[in-house]
Amino acid sequence: MFLGAPGSGKGTQASVISQRLGIAHIATGDLFRDAVSKGDELGREAKTYMDKGLLVPDEITIRMLLERIAAADCREGYILDGFPRTLEQARTLERALAEKGEVVDRVLYFKVSTEELVRRLSGRLICRNCQTPYHPITSPPKVAGRCDQCGGELYQRSDDSPETARKRLEVYFAETAALIDYYKEAGKLVEINGEKGIEEVGQEVLDAFTNG
Ligand code: AMP
C-alpha cells in the first residue's frame, strides 16, 4: 500500500515499481478518472466530489475497489495507490481481505513537507495516456507537452488548480493522515523520504519491497 499526500510521488513510484516487478497498480483516482471520461453513473457521481477536491463517499469508493481487486490480475498481489484514504476504508479493506485469508503486507508512507507538496501540485502535468506526472521545474519532459514514456499529450488535471489542490491537501490532513499512525501501530509502516529525486526515492521503494 502506498500512502502519502497528493503530490508526494506515490503515483509515480507505483507506476515504476509495478512495471518493474510485474504487479498490478491500482490507483482509485485513475479508476474514478476513467469512469468520468466514460461518463457512466459512477463517473458522474464521483466528478461532483473530485471537482471540489473532496473525497468520494466511502461506500462508492470501497465498492469500486473491492470489485477491482477481485480481478484475475490481482491474484498474485497488487499495489494500492490512493486507497485507503479514511479509517473506514482501511478497516473495510482489512475485513474483506481477512475473508480471503489475505493481509496488507506493507505500507510505504511517502513523507514530504507541505511546502514541497504545494510546489509540486501547482504546475503538475499528467500524461493523458499513461498518467505519468511531470513538473516543469522538478521533472520536465524531454519534449515539451509530450510524455517521455509513451509520447502521450500532457495536460493539467482540473483538480490541480491552486484552489482545488489546497482543498485536497486540507482533506488529506483531516481524513487520511490518521492512517499513518494506524499502520505504524500495526507494525506495517515503512517511511520513505519522498523529498529526494525520483531515482533515489525509487531505490528506497525497491529496498522496501525486497528487504523482509
Ligand atoms: P488522486 O488521483 O489519488 O489524487 O485522486 C483524485 C480524486 O479522486 C480525489 O481527490 C478524490 O476525489 C477521489 N479519490 C481517489 N481515491 C479516493 C479514495 N480512496 N477515497 C475517496 N476519494 C478518492
Number of domains in the chain: 1
Instruction: Output the pLDDT for position 212.
Output: 57
Query: What mean pLDDT do residues 80-97 have?
Result: 97
Cell numbers that stand for 34 in this block? 476513467
The band of 42, judged by pLDDT with boundaries at 50, 70 and 90, is very high
How far does the centroid of ligand 1 lie from the alpha carbon of residue 82, in Å?
Answer: 6
Atom of ligand 1 nearest to the CA of 6: 4
Half-sphere exposure in the Cβ direction for 172 (13 Å, CA): 20
Is residue 80 situated within a structural domain? yes
Give the strand order in the sheet containing 154-155.
Answer: 133-134, 125-127, 154-155
Q: Indicate whether 149 belongs to any domain.
A: yes
Assigned domain for 54 exists:
no
- Atom 5, ligand 1: residue with shortest CA distance: 29
Order of all β-strands in the sheet with 2-4: 24-27, 78-81, 2-4, 107-111, 189-193
pLDDT tens digits along 67-81: 999 999 999 899 999
| 10 touches 81 (CB < 8 A) | yes
Question: Does residue 58 fall inside a structural domain?
Answer: no
- For the segment 101-130, the average pLDDT, to the nearest whole number, is 92
Task: Share the mean pLDDT of the chain.
Answer: 94
Q: Which domain holds residue 136?
A: 2-23+76-210
Among 125, 124, 130, which Cα is nearest to 152's?
Answer: 130
Residue 129 maps to which CATH number? 3.40.50.300
CA of 135 to the centre of ligand 1 (A): 20
Q: Does residue 47 sit within a domain?
A: no
